[in-house]
Amino acid sequence: MIFSKIFFLLSIPFAFLYFFIIFIRNIFYNFNIFRKHKINAKVISVGNITWGGTGKTPVVAFIADELVKKNRRVSILIRGYGNDESELLPKLTSNVPVLVGKDRVKMGIEAIENHLSDTVILDDGFQHRRLERNLDIVCIDAAKPFGNGWCIPAGTLREGLGSLKRADIF
């Protein structure tokens, strides 16, 4: 208990630094200093504002299957942090290609060229601003929506709550 309080207090300066860096990065994207790339497909992002499980991957699988039922050619793009989404998503979907890689712009183009995708879904894509999207969905944990209200590493927020203005659906 005492260790967690000490860690929290020591991590506060780093949380402020992290928040500031992400805040400036978002300003750069908002004012087109950092370029957003548009691809020739609809882009749906499913993400969250906190670190940890909020049900993004099942939501991605559900959306992919619903779009396939409507005759859309869907691909799912994931970063692949070493977690199991790359193995789980093919099991949860109806034969939807899952592309893994850090460069989602490149992967989106690959999805269009190699899989003839007309729609790509970003799993955990809310903070990935480089690829322009048509719809931003944010999953929120109803039990603890914003953790303790602090950014990483003092808390679980990936960016400030003001970033939720970018979201289209919660």
Mean pLDDT of 128-152: 95
Nearest by Cα to 134 from 81, 88, 67, 82: 67
Report CA-CA distances (Å) from 63 to 67, 68, 83.
6, 9, 21
The number of domains in the chain is 1
Q: What is the mean pLDDT of the chain?
A: 94
The 10s digit of each residue's pLDDT in 82-139 is 667 778 888 888 889 999 999 999 999 999 999 999 999 999 999 999 999 999 999 9
Domain containing residue 46: CATH number = 3.40.1010
pLDDT at 39 over 90: yes
Q: Is residue 12 a part of any domain in this protein?
A: no
pLDDT-above-90 percentage for the chain? 84
- For the entire predicted model, the pTM comes to 0.92
pLDDT at 69 over 70: yes
Q: Is residue 34 a part of any domain in this protein?
A: no
Q: Which domain, by its residues, includes 81?
A: 42-166
Q: Is residue 70 a part of any domain in this protein?
A: yes
Report the pLDDT value the prediction gives residue 165, as an integer from 0 to 100. Answer: 96
